[in-house]
Amino acid sequence: MTSPGPQTDRAEREAAAWYTQLGNRSVTTQALRDFRDWRQEPANDEAYLRIEAAWNRTADLADDPDILRVTDAALGRRITIRPAWQRRAPVLGAVALAAVLAVAGAFVTLNLARPSYSTGVGEQRLVVLPDGSRLRLNTDSRVRVIFSRSERRILLARGEAFFEVTHDTARPFVVDAGNAAVRAVGTKFDVRRDPQAVNVTLVEGVVRVRRDAEPRTWTLSPNQQLTIPTSGAVAPRTADAAVVTSWTAGRLIFHETALSEAIAEVNRYGVHKIELDADAVAGRKINGVFDVGDTDAFVAGVVDMLNLTATHSPDGRIRLQPTTAS
């Protein structure tokens, strides 16, 4: 247990700032790397876990019947919640009641507003939902949150999101991603929506996936992935969930990945795109770990591995070609 003191106070303040930054606006991949480095310090990690736990405890109050009855009389008011770290320690009486009303009021407001969250190219965003579930948006993604008393539904309009779902058997958690619907109770999974297909990868727990209005469902176990095209055969397959979700830790991991596929993945995070003008090496397998958004490091790596030359265009594009023997 960390003892109180100046170092603890500093860690608490920094943890609160990080929690606010990660939960309330788009975050660049560089910021995520800075956060990961900051959290390597044990005192910082402990402080962040305390801040996170305090906020999750307030989220647990949102479904309390007594709180909901109290807030039914106040639906005409818009109440803005502040994170737990901004409030003083709980006290009896009107101050405690006001904090409770703020939590419940925010829950009702979110239900009515159906909030949307999005990221630009090279950005990620962490959102704590009203029930305590967490979703992390990857680069160039957009979701809409629709919560009711009977269901928790997320509409993934584009891109990719990683979900850590709070267990609630009374309110199933459903992710709609075009032609696929993923149903979970309490679990961790990744959903990626591309123009050609939807990919669902399970990290922990169980999810059931349905395509459009088909009666059949597929049940996934941890380290299984399901690719759902608009038509055609569908079957779960084994996948390394840690590799698929490495982006959540600010990493891209390639293991026996075709160069063309690796380039397509790196291009998702960079404004300046890589173009491969070397069909002979497009299928060559590469291995490596790169920081998300660090296009230059990736280019330097594959140039060295595959004897390529990188040419930078004035508009920022990077063209890879075979090195011409002199």
* Contact in structure between 46 and 52 (CB atoms under 8 Å): no
**What domains are there in the chain, each with its CATH number?**
6-113 (no CATH), 116-239 (2.60.120.1440), 250-322 (3.55.50.30)
Residues 6+ apart with CB under 8 A from 13: none
* Contact in structure between 46 and 73 (CB atoms under 8 Å): no
Calculate helix-pair angle for 94-113, 42-60, nearest 10 degrees: 80
What pLDDT sits at residue 300?
Answer: 93
Burial of 191 (0-12, 13-18, 19+ CB in 10 A): buried
pTM of the model as a whole: 0.69
218 three-state secondary structure: strand
Structure tokens given for 113: 């507003």
Q: Which residues of the chain have pLDDT under 70?
A: 1-6, 20-30, 55-113, 325-326
What pLDDT sits at residue 64?
Answer: 52
Structure tokens given for 247: 């982006």
Structure tokens given for 102: 């703020």
Write the CA distances from 10 to 7, 25, 49, 84, integer angstroms: 5, 23, 15, 17
In the chain, the largest separation of any two C-alpha atoms, in whole Å, equals: 83
How many Å from the N-terminal Cα to the C-terminal Cα in the chain? 64
């390639």: which residue's tokens? 254
* Contact in structure between 283 and 21 (CB atoms under 8 Å): no
What pLDDT sits at residue 112?
Answer: 45
Structure tokens given for 298: 């990736």
